[in-house]
Amino acid sequence: MKRGQIFSIDMMLAIVLVTIVIGSSVYFFTNTEEDFMGYLQMVKTGDDITAILEKDGTIDGLSSIGIKAELNALLPVNYEMRLRINTTAYPEPIIIETESQMKDKSFIASGKRFFVFEHDNAMHTGSIQYEVWPR
């Protein structure tokens, strides 16, 4: 073989390898991007709902019926949610769930939010832990 032929074969092999590497990188990047954005949307939904419940004063009353009604009004139809509210005003946590149970092997977005409220003329602290999953 002449030197020019070896150089051409070497160049073609390099082009094939670079094409395979770039193609597989693009494939894996686009697939993980779609999953990540859906998961991020669930986290943001849970955080936004807990922020609204805190800001409009629904949490301050600690009424599980009122919180559940507001939760059902705010939650998009394609998600389910569970809230666990711990406060210094009550020793037992308040647990509020939507109607459907979690599916096996589905992604569950979770987070925690802290708040301060007044109850019986005293200031109390609390936390809301939320879990959101697809319906």
Domain span at residue 96 reads 3-134
Contact 128, 83 (CB under 8 A): yes
Looking at residue 47, its pLDDT comes to: 93
Residues 46-62: b if buried by 16+ CB within 10 A, e if exposed: bbebbeebbeeebbbeb
Looking at residue 90, its pLDDT comes to: 84
Looking at residue 17, its pLDDT comes to: 93
What total number of domains does the chain contain? 1
* Residue bearing the bigger pLDDT, 4 or 30: 30
Nearest one of 98, 111, 103, 100 to 40, comparing CA atoms: 111
Nearest one of 68, 51, 69, 28 to 112, comparing CA atoms: 51
